[in-house]
Structure 1
Amino acid sequence: MKLLIFTFVGVVHLLSLGSGKAIHKASTPQKTFKEIQEEIAGYTDVAKAIINLAVYGRAQNRSYERLAHLVDTVGPRLSGSKNLEEAIQLTYQSLKDSGLENVHLEPVKVPHWERGEESAMMVKPRLYKMAILGLGSSIGTPAEGITAEVLVVNSFDELQRRAIEAKGKIVVYNQPYISYATSVKYRVQGAVEAAKVGALASLIRSVASFSIYSPHTGNQKYQDGVTKIPTACITVEDAEMMSRIASHGTTIVVNLKMGAVNYPDTDSFNTVAEITGSRHPEQIVLVSGHLDSWDVGQGAMDDGGGAFISWEALSLIKDLGLRPKRTLRLVLWTAEEQGGVGASQYYQLHKVNISQYSLVMESDAGTYLPTGLQFTGSDKARSIMEEVMSLLRPLNITQVFTKGEGEDINFWIQAGVPGASLLDDLNKYFFFHHSHGDTMTALDPKQMNVAAAVWAVVSYVVADLDEMLPR
């Protein structure tokens, strides 16, 4: 009964607000900040209703259960794979069955890479089989593999200092984990930098904040004019072991075999669903996560959780009978892991309407207990978002941080649209990121409930305000 009361208050609130017009039209009078504060404060009961439904009510654990059904049935969803296309079709039908509006698929072309069989065997100073995961878009080795001496370095600077030693060898990077943003450059650029000094292949210490002998895959990028060499990630433990061996002057020889193949781009889809706006259906608040994943684990955390709390945000709003003034558009991206491929094509298709986008939101950093919202936008827009986040005091999640960027929404942010992403325990996130450990076991349904509540409150209130967020 309590939820029904909140729902009624929310509907009354919707009906009582003026229609307004998009603030990008010069003729539209803008509210003072005090008026906006008062307007946002009026959503207190609606926010409580969303929180109660998501965290304590009949919707609790729904996003977790929906996700578990998909990933337990389909598994990981690599760009270009049959698994991904099956996941897209199943999700498309589920979105239609859930009663959301304008559910459709938007065609895109995506990369198609398969890792094939792969192995790495240390043959000197002892026989030892290492765990590896080839990196996305890597070429393969000859069938017999590449057998070569190893050069261990801790940084690109050291590689340059020892460039003369690298020719004809396999470069092993034992870079320390400082932060993901700092350390991931070795995964992305390691093969190119090793090839520039004549290496035959590169092995990169997994970019992980903690390891229990688990390699982590991810994307890497070749460079025009630089020879392409095979590249893979090894475990933190094996990178440190080879560094210790090399420090004693002992020769290390490794046989690397990789059956990786790059195929022509193939057909895929971005998946879209909406709650159509009641007053300004042409104006958009975009809520998103990516449906593709790497081909290890289940892709549950990266980014099944982010995709499914984005779906859950619309479900919560629909369940409460709320219809914001602007359209809430859910987009489940494809081929994010290959560099935002699906999102780039969406942007090219829809950028003609860029002035109609009030906020773009992406959840792609886990769905552990949120600490707040990351946001990129003008100072005035940030002040408005701080007021919106104050509605989440019942969950004690009110902070607004910087850097709201995300792989799939950066196109919009760089063009001036405000952007937001969910922030939670990133250290724990990188325990499992791009590894066999990315399974449903890494997720907590109660924490997903809270993440969904935050996502729903923010997206609904911004979509229902009288005015769009200022640029």
Structure 2
Amino acid sequence: MRLSVRLLAASALALGFAAPAFAQDAATIQRAERIRDAALEQNIALDYVTRLTTTFGARPAGSPSEQAAAEWAAGYMRQHGFQNVRIETFPLIGWERGEESASIVGAHPQRLVVAALGHSPGTNGVIEAEVVRFTSLEDLNAAPAGSLTGKIAYVDAGQMVRMQDGAGYGPLTRIRGAGPAAAASKGAVAFIMRSVGSDEHRMPHTGTTRYVEGRVPLPGFALSAPDASQLSRLIASGETVRLRLSSTAHTYETVSQNVVGEITGASRPNEVIVLGSHMDSWDLGTGAIDDGAGGAITLAAAKAIAESGRRPARTVRVVLYGSEEVAQPNDTGNGGGAYLRGIGAAVEQHIIAGESDFGADRVYALQLPPGAQNSAFQRAATQVLYPIGVLASAEPELHGGADVGPLAEAGVPVFGLSQDGTRYFDLHHTADDTLDKIDPEQLSQNVAAWAGLVYLIADSDVDFRALRSAASAPAH
């Protein structure tokens, strides 16, 4: 890693990235580079995610393990010098998986590997019914009213397309979110789907489904990819296929929480930069890549800035959000919404926010808010980030992730450090989301990218809101 940094730094000089590039003097850029390099060598990120996943395992939203992990994380922040550490609780409907099973019955009985979809109700015993297959959510929605009465709706839209930026995920999560309600509207007694993942492992990917008028209307399940293919082949052969499904899943009232800690700014402490990730995970694995790694990256980046020997002007605030993974009967925004409601009018003092929630593989691109493209600040950021393989994108970041999304909707500019998601959806929401999947060197590269960039922002006077306004102003 040290050799590659030196080689890329030389390339940066050759490409003309070395000139001082924004309203601060060159010393700010040099300090950011030193913070970047120090972050490559420190191991606090790996220490944090190792302790989190080993001690607490899975951390379902609102569960005792998520609550205990939040208490521990607050102590970890205090131990490592964060100021104003606090836990902010909010009400939540939790969900427990219980026991689940699925099998083909009849002439060719076979066991299937399934996972109940998050917040779907249990089956109240056993459901046994004929399966009707659809190849898209649109086909299911087009089925005649009542045509699925007493049957199980099955959507197999094919394997997720593997892409570096994870763009193949969105089209299939629509099915997971809306499928159960669509199936119920046609009279179905249950809903199943090919799980949303890019792998061929016999490990189903869970994930939340959607509430409709305060309830999830029927039991929903994700089939592992090989089991989905098996079921689709049987149906394609012309046989009438019947399934037996059971689930004891249920919901309960609980609380979740955000854990907040900060490195207080030296001269402008009321100007806040939010670094977000989420504490909760699904119950099948231990939530190492989704999203223990994100908390590790943002916490370690802030710590690297604090250890640089010079506090930046602005406050760097790390928020470990609660309950990102689950839907709720009312759209409260979960941890992100609770944070926004808690700060009230102080949202105007939030100058920018970013979120790490895409695993631990390397960062390859920087996306800044609108108006910052080709700016002096972007040129400075490129000088700091190019030596560790991060290029500035011409595309602006508009929305952030699920946790900082409410801040973005409230007008706070957001940035993105895009990670390589090529293998992310092999592991995401499965039993294979475990610590051994984290590459320590790539994790350190993430910390270095976050630390270098955030220091530049925190010690600058760049007004990203003003840049956005100027970019959207009509030309004269």
- Band the TM-score falls in, shorter-chain normalisation: 0.7 to 0.9
Kindly indicate whether residue 370 of structure 2 is the aligned counterpart of residue 378 of structure 1. Answer: yes
CA distance in 2, matches of 1:386, 1:258: 52
Kindly indicate whether residue 112 of structure 2 is the aligned counterpart of residue 112 of structure 1. Answer: no
Q: Which residue of 1 aligns with 2:252?
A: 263
Kept after mapping to 2: 8 A contact 1:389/1:397: no
Choose the corresponding residue for 1:156, options 137, 144, 159.
137
Q: CA deviation at 1:36?
A: 6.2
Identity %: 32
CA distance in 1, matches of 2:124, 2:212: 21
Letter of the structure 1 residue corresponding to residue 87 of structure 2: L
Q: Which residue of 1 aligns with 2:426?
A: 431
Q: CA deviation at 1:170?
A: 0.7
Q: Which residue of 2 aligns with 1:346?
A: 339
Q: CA deviation at 1:388?
A: 4.1
TM-score computed with the length of structure 1 as normaliser: 0.87
Kindly indicate whether residue 87 of structure 2 is the aligned counterpart of residue 95 of structure 1. Answer: no
Choose the corresponding residue for 1:276, options 260, 264, 272.
264
Q: Which residue of 1 aligns with 2:68?
A: 86
CA distance in 2, matches of 1:168, 1:225: 23
Choose the corresponding residue for 2:299, options 289, 311, 325.
311
Equivalences for 1:309-458 in 2 at 5 Å?
Answer: 309-339=297-327, 340-375=333-368, 377-380=369-372, 383=375, 386-390=378-382, 391-400=384-393, 401-404=395-398, 405-458=400-453
Letter of the structure 1 residue corresponding to residue 235 of structure 2: A
Q: CA deviation at 1:111?
A: 2.3
Q: Which residue of 2 aligns with 1:8?
A: none
Kept after mapping to 2: 8 A contact 1:364/1:422: no
Choose the corresponding residue for 2:206, options 217, 242, 245.
217
- What do residues 105-148 of structure 1 show as CA deviations (whole Å, max 9, x unaligned)? 112222211111111111134221111111111111112x1000
CA distance in 1, matches of 2:396, 2:224: 32
Q: Which residue of 2 aligns with 1:199?
A: 188
CA distance in 2, matches of 1:79, 1:112: 6
State the number of aligned residues: 433
Kept after mapping to 1: 8 A contact 2:32/2:452: yes
Q: Which residue of 1 aligns with 2:14?
A: none
CA distance in 2, matches of 1:398, 1:199: 49
Kept after mapping to 1: 8 A contact 2:23/2:460: no
Q: CA deviation at 1:320?
A: 1.4
Kept after mapping to 2: 8 A contact 1:367/1:451: yes
Kept after mapping to 1: 8 A contact 2:122/2:249: yes
CA distance in 2, matches of 1:382, 1:417: 20
Q: CA deviation at 1:448?
A: 0.5
CA distance in 2, matches of 1:249, 1:277: 68
Which SS does the other structure have where 1:426 is aligned?
Answer: coil
Q: Which residue of 2 aligns with 1:244?
A: 233
CA distance in 2, matches of 1:142, 1:165: 23
CA distance in 1, matches of 2:304, 2:61: 30
Q: Which residue of 1 aligns with 2:31?
A: 46
TM-score computed with the length of structure 2 as normaliser: 0.87
CA distance in 2, matches of 1:86, 1:295: 15
Which SS does the other structure have where 2:130 is aligned?
Answer: strand
Kindly indicate whether residue 176 of structure 2 is the aligned counterpart of residue 181 of structure 1. Answer: no
Which SS does the other structure have where 2:423 is aligned?
Answer: helix
CA distance in 1, matches of 2:392, 2:226: 37
Runs of 5+ unmatched residues, structure 2: 3-18, 162-167, 328-332, 469-476
CA distance in 2, matches of 1:225, 1:418: 32
Kept after mapping to 1: 8 A contact 2:120/2:216: no
1:366–1:148: structure 2 CA closer, same or farther, 3 Å change rule? same
Which SS does the other structure have where 2:153 is aligned?
Answer: strand
Of 423-432 and 378-387, deviating more is: 378-387
CA distance in 2, matches of 1:115, 1:232: 11
Of 206-215 and 382-391, deviating more is: 382-391
Runs of 5+ unmatched residues, structure 1: 3-33
Choose the corresponding residue for 1:235, options 203, 218, 224.
224
Kept after mapping to 2: 8 A contact 1:124/1:251: no
